[in-house]
Amino acid sequence: MTAEELKNYLQTWDDSLEFIEEIPEDVALFAALEDVPSEWLNVEVPLSHFKGIMRHLKADEKTSFDYLFNMTGMDWGQELGVIYHLESTRHGHILVVRVRTADRENPEIPTVEDIWKTAHLHEREIFDLLGIRFTGHSNLKRIFLTPDFQGHPLRKDYEDDYMILRK
C-alpha cells in the first residue's frame, strides 16, 4: 500500500476496533503528522492504547507489519518517546509510529517485545540511554553502561563533567 492508502485504511480502524470505545472523544487514534516531511506515513498513537494498536498493526492482514527495523528513543525536550519504524515484508509498505510520554521522572511505555522480538535489545538500549521504562519487558537492565551508572546520557538535560566543551 502507498502511504496515502495506508492512511485511509488506518482511519477506518477508528470504528472497527473493539478497544475503541475507551478512547475519549478528543483523542484521535492515529494523528497523522503532516508536518514531518518523509516518504513514509508518520502517525502518532496515544500512549493509553499504544499496545493494542501495535498488536493490531502486526495482526491485521491488510497491514501485517512484521518487521520492526528501527526503534529510536527520543527526547523532545519536554517529552520522551519512541519512534518505531515498521515494515511489512509481505506488502512492502512502511509506517512510522511514534508514542510519547510527558513524564520525565518515571517515563513508562508498554513493551513491544512480545510482538516483535527484536525489541528486546533495542528497548534495553533505549532504557539505558534515555531512561524510558518498558513495562512488561522480560529483562530490563542496562545494556551498554555499567549497572551503577548514574543518569541517562542521551537525554538533552544530561550533563557530564568530562564532556569536552566545544568552541
Partner 1 sequence: MEPNTQILSTEDLRSQEYFLNMGPQHPATHGVLRLLLTMDGEIVKNIEPDLGYIHRGIEKMVEYDTYRQIIHVTDRLDYLSSHINNEAVALAIEKALEVEVSDRIKVIRTMMDELTRIASHLLWWGVMGMDIGALTTFMYAFRDREMINEIMEKTTGARLTMSYNIPGGVMFDLHPDFVKDVKAFIPHMRKVLPEYDRLLTGNIIFQRRMKGVGYLSAEDAVSHGASGPVARGSGVRCDIRKKAPYSAYDRVKFDEIIETGGDNLARYQVRMREMYESLNILEQLVDNIPEGPYQMPMRTLIKLPKGEFYQRVETARGEFGVFIVSDGKKNPYRVKFRSPGLSNLNALIQAGRGVKLADLVAIMSTFDFVIPDIDR
| DSSP class of 140 | -
Residues 72/86, Cβ–Cβ less than 8 Å: no
How many helices (H) and strands (E) the chain has is answered by 3, 7
Instruction: Give the amino acid at 166.
Output: R
Binding piece for partner 1, criterion CB under 8 A, among 9-17, 45-53, 103-111, 114-122: 114-122
Grid coordinates representing 85 are 519504524
Closest C-alpha among 37, 23, 30 to residue 6: 30
Dihedrals φ, ψ of 151, to 5°?
90, 175
- Binding flags for partner 1, 39-78, as an x/- string (CB under 8 A): -x-x-----------------------xxxxx-x-xx---
**Looking only at residues 5 through 44 of this chain, which bind partner 1 when binding is defined by CB under 8 A?**
36-38, 40, 42
Q: Does 135 bind partner 1 (CB under 8 A)?
A: no
Dihedrals φ, ψ of 82, to 5°?
-135, 140
Q: Does 143 bind partner 1 (CB under 8 A)?
A: yes
Residue among 24 and 37 whose Cβ is closer to partner 1: 37
Residue among 73 and 110 whose Cβ is closer to partner 1: 73
Regarding beta strands 41-44 and 80-87, do their DSSP bridges make them parallel or antiparallel, or are they unpaired? Answer: unpaired
Q: Does 167 bind partner 1 (CB under 8 A)?
A: no
**Cα 135 to chain center, whole Å?**
13
Residue among 56 and 122 whose Cβ is closer to partner 1: 122
Residue among 11 and 118 whose Cβ is closer to partner 1: 118
List interacting residues with partner 1 (CB under 8 A): 36-38, 40, 42, 66-70, 72, 74-75, 83, 85, 89, 92, 96, 116-118, 120-122, 125, 129, 139, 143-146, 153-154, 166
